[in-house]
Amino acid sequence: MTFWERYRPEELLLFSEQVYWRLFDLHNQAWWPAPIIALLLGGGLILATVRPTPARLRVCLGGLATLWVFVGFAYLNARYATINWAARYAVPLFVVEAVLLVAAALFPGTGRVRDHRRAWPGLVGPGLIVYAVILHPLTALSRETGLSGAEVFGLTPDPLAIATLGTLSLSGNRLPAMALSAAPTIWLLVSATTLFALDSILAWVPLCAVVLAWAALLNPR
Amino acid sequence: MTHRLNLNRRTVIKGMMLASAATLVPPWIRAETRPMMRTIPSSGERIPSVGLGTWITFNVGQDPVLLDERAAVMQAFFEDGGAMIDSSPMYGSSQATVGYGLDKLGYPESLFSADKVWTGNPNRRQSQIAESLDDWRQEHFDLLQVHNLVAWRDHLPRLQKMKANGEIRYVGITTSDGRRHDQFESIMRSERIDFAQLSYNILNREAEKRLLPLARDEGIAVIANRPFQQDRLTQWLADKPLPPWADELKATSWAQILLKFILGHPAITCVIPATTRVDHVRENLAAAREPLPDAAMRERMAAFVRDLA
Ligand SMILES: NC(=O)c1ccc[n+]([C@@H]2O[C@H](COP(=O)([O-])OP(=O)(O)OC[C@H]3O[C@@H](n4cnc5c(N)ncnc54)[C@H](OP(=O)(O)O)[C@@H]3O)[C@@H](O)[C@H]2O)c1
């Protein structure tokens, strides 16, 4: 391969892949034992959404709202911003999403669960949530840090955004669900761009999550 | 060159110990292992011709392990005779990492601090410089540059005033990857600047056409950034055998060949490769020794690499 073929337009990246992944390790250490609590919360989300009812869905949306605020400040603002000053500009996005989720949790209509949950669009939601809570942290096994550098649902943005899209795709109220999906989608696209620039194969994860979630959101079945 | 902030008893004693250890090494041996010096035309001051960049490599946040690793790179850099460290408020936590290293090393006297102003808002300039100084744990910078010419009309007069007041010693401008060379050239012609920083390497020789000759004519020191095109050159060349003429240059790696090519241009004052590794920083400083290629040899080198590409 020649030099010119290797040349890639990643000029805007400020940090290395090693530093990026090690942030999760530092984050887990700093918040220990919060990763365990977050995993338990994630387990609760899985149970609640395997057989969703309107009340359960609304409780989940309220819970996710809290986590969006927490991740916005504790991860983006306090940790990610130490290596990427642009991360601070994403904090308002996380706060807006939290406010919208609270609003959704308070309005009885949004709790409506989609019909035909056995059809594939209905399975996307639980699939994304299970991936975000259980499988996504395991991707850390392929890295220098091992599981201590796992991206844990509820503490870090990608699995939170994936689980949120999964939860929203269960809603039978498609328009509000799509509006609420905007922020997680934007975040996951930013994350995919960052990971592509870092040359990480994991860049496909947020991208696939967005495609799957929107395929389900747009499908009325 | 450096302006110390936290000069406590321990750092003084540490400095004295280092100084006395240094004097135990015979001067001819030390001279042998020091990088070649180059003159800053506007002052006549001589500085080592290989410095240290910090983009990406020093942006490690608050990671204690990586902070210590970068401090080790800085230690090797100063031990082997380096002086200029280049950073910017744009580089995430890089300035703070430099500050951490300087503090850990007891504020080496030989530091030549080169930082930048990077804001489109002239009202933000002073607070940004103050924050940068805080991060570097310094009281003054040796060189302040207008990063990528951002708001240069506002910043340059103020930086010149700072120089006149003795707050900084040199003023400069930067660009990279061939961006805005026309404007860069016109500033070099019309403004009083001491340093021009630009991208220059064996495959990116655009600066040779106008900027480097102009720098010589105007008496402007030149800092060459991106000598390895941010590791793409070194990675791409890594599995290629060294050319037969590497011996003639006493170059033991591709990195040294690439640096010697740059230093072979008489307009270059300092080249600032960035690295995360102690062995690489030593290798880079060691490139700044005779022999350097003359014009004919440089053409041969460039043709060889161009053919590989
Ligand atoms: N507009 C501007 O003002 C501007 C723009 C660009 C750059 N700059 C300045 O110029 C500096 C240098 O440019 P750069 O950071 O783009 O990249 P660079 O110096 O061209 O390349 C840095 C890369 O080269 C590798 N490297 C260093 N020494 C090596 C050696 N001996 N053997 C093999 N690989 C080696 C490093 O990897 P290892 O960590 O593995 O050694 C690092 O990833 C910047 O850090 C910055 O301070 C300024």
What CATH number does the domain containing B193 carry?
3.20.20.100
Block residue for tokens 């890089």 = B94
Residue B26 lies in a domain: no
Interface contacts A/B by beta carbons within 8 Å: 55
CA proximity to A160, closest of A52, A42, A73: A42
CA-angle at A101, arms to A100 and A106, nearest 5°: 100
In this prediction the pTM is: 0.91
Percent of chain A scored above 90 by pLDDT?
82
Touching check for A197 and chain B: CB below 8 Å?
no
Report the residue from A7, A26, A85 with minimal CB separation from B92: A85
Output the CA A18–ligand 1 centroid distance in Å. 16
Domain boundaries, position A61 = 33-218
Residue A25 lies in a domain: no
Q: Are A199 and A17 in contact (CB under 8 A)?
A: yes
Residue A40 lies in a domain: yes
Nearest-neighbour CA in chain A from B150: distance (Å): 16
How would you classify the pairing of strands B268-271 and B84-86?
unpaired
| Interatomic CA distance for residues B176 and B146, integer angstroms | 12
Q: What is the mean pLDDT of chain A?
A: 92
Output the CA A94–ligand 1 centroid distance in Å. 34
Residue B24 lies in a domain: no
A48-75 average pLDDT score: 95
Closest chain B residue to A14, measured at CA: B56
Chain segment A2-18, per-residue pLDDT in tens: 444 433 445 678 999 99
| Interatomic CA distance for residues B180 and B188, integer angstroms | 12
The answer, yes or no, to whether any atom of ligand 1 lies below 6 A from the CB of B197, is: yes
| Interatomic CA distance for residues B260 and B290, integer angstroms | 9
Domain boundaries, position B50 = 36-308
| Interatomic CA distance for residues A22 and B266, integer angstroms | 42
- Interface predicted TM-score of the whole assembly (ipTM), two decimals: 0.89
Nearest-neighbour CA in chain B from A13: distance (Å): 8
The answer, yes or no, to whether any atom of ligand 1 lies below 6 A from the CB of B256, is: no
Q: Please state the domain count of chain B.
A: 1
* B-interface mutation test, from A2, A7, A11, A14, most B Cβ less than 10 A away: A14
Q: Please state the domain count of chain A.
A: 1
Residue B227 lies in a domain: yes
Chain A residues touching B232 at Cβ < 8 A: 3, 6-7
* Interchain pair B308, A15: CB under 8 A: no
Q: What is the pLDDT along chain B (309 residues), one digit of tens a residue?
A: 555 444 444 444 444 444 444 444 444 344 457 899 999 999 999 999 999 999 999 999 999 999 999 999 999 999 999 999 999 999 999 999 999 999 999 999 999 999 999 999 999 999 999 999 999 999 999 999 999 999 999 999 999 999 999 999 999 999 998 888 999 999 999 999 999 999 999 999 999 999 999 999 999 999 999 999 989 999 999 999 999 999 999 999 999 999 999 999 999 999 999 999 999 999 999 999 999 999 999 999 999 999 998
